[in-house]
Amino acid sequence: MQFLKLFPETHRNLDCLKAASIYVVISKEYAMAGKKVLIVYAHQEPKSMNGSLKNVAVDVFQKQGCSVDISDLYSMNFIAAATRNDITGELCNPQHFRYGAETMEAFKKGVLCEEIIKEQKKVQEADLVIFQFPLYWFSFPAIMKGWIDRVFVQGFAFDFPSIYYNGLLKEKLAILSFTTGGTEEMFSKNGVSGDIRYLLWPMQHGIMHFCGFKVLAPQISYAPEYTGDKERKDMLLSWAKRLETIWEEQPIECTPPWYFQ
Ligand SMILES: Cc1cc2nc3c(=O)[nH]c(=O)nc-3n(C[C@H](O)[C@H](O)[C@H](O)COP(=O)(O)OP(=O)(O)OC[C@H]3O[C@@H](n4cnc5c(N)ncnc54)[C@H](O)[C@@H]3O)c2cc1C
Ligand SMILES: [Zn+2]
């Protein structure tokens, strides 16, 4: 108060400051309100931890006024295998089938199968793609890997030389949110499974970054089957908390030192 008497101008300045901070809050909300999120979700059981993590994300984004699309791969009976059936038109070379070359051509001609076209549209519209899955053999479950194999077609997700920082999906963000069987300690540098970042290299760098995505730090929910209910609730809360400010996050520096140093 003494300070305000000495500097009466400050009243006005404080009002300006208040107005500015309200403006920042409103503009932040405005900025995230129109955002579009795609959750690519791979779990067979809605009551699973992965199911709960997916639901938490849907809740938070809907509260933010974002639109959320979900590709629930098991419910969709999504086909994991990359085959000739993915091309509905004539093949360029039926004598020697090359999946990559044929799907690239089919993408250009608009003759990929309906299932792939639908998923590509969802990716195209999304600002952020979240991959929600249980870790299977240090990687994605087959159904999700199949989604990647079939949806991230050359010409759509990447081309040459449009890879990594020039990948065709470079305006988008990606996050891997996954659960593990192993504990955090097992996935440490000196643990039996080695640093979790070693296995993130093919998934985050080899796939997401290759296609141009800006990669946000992964959300790892360690060993939910082996912790108590309180710990699981905390994992869900920390995901919800993180998602509240997800649009302000900076991507990781997705280069070898992040993974291997
Ligand atoms: C083929 C295969 C390969 C695998 N490879 C690996 C591997 O390489 N490395 C590795 O570490 N692990 C591996 N695993 C283990 C796997 O990653 C874990 O089993 C999985 O991540 C656990 O997640 P979940 O969602 O399936 O758990 P769930 O068993 O579905 O859930 C765990 C617990 O959370 C509870 N829960 C759900 N929702 C809530 C809620 N809202 N609040 C409180 N509790 C809740 C459930 O009731 C349950 O008790 C593998 C598993 C398989 C089948
Ligand atoms: Zn990278």
- 223 in ligand 1 pocket by Cβ < 6 Å? no
Say if the ipTM goes beyond 0.95.
yes
Structural domain includes residue 204: yes
Question: pLDDT class for 32, splitting at 50, 70, 90?
Answer: confident
pLDDT in tens, 81-114: 999 999 998 999 999 999 999 999 999 999 999 9
Of 4-8, 89-93, 109-113, 160-164, give the lowest mean pLDDT range.
Answer: 4-8
Domain that holds residue 136: 35-247
Handedness of CA 183, 188, 190, 194 (dihedral sign): positive
260 CA → ligand 2 middle, Å: 12
Amino acid residing at 104: M
User: What is the Cα–Cα distance from 128 to 172, expressed in whole angstroms?
Assistant: 6
Do 70 and 118 meet the contact criterion of CB atoms below 8 Å apart? Answer: no
Output the domain CATH number for residue 142: 3.40.50.360
Enter the tokens of residue 199. Answer: 């296995």
User: What is the Cα–Cα distance from 179 to 167, expressed in whole angstroms?
Assistant: 28
Count of domains in the chain?
1
What is the reported pLDDT for 14?
A: 54
Prediction pTM value: 0.92
What is the reported pLDDT for 219?
A: 99
Structural domain includes residue 198: yes
What is the reported pLDDT for 3?
A: 43
pLDDT in tens, 10-29: 555 556 556 555 555 555 66
Q: Which ligand is nearest to the CA of 178?
A: 1
Position in ligand 1 atom list of the atom nearest CA 139:
8
Position in ligand 1 atom list of the atom nearest CA 187:
11
- 64 in ligand 1 pocket by Cβ < 6 Å? no
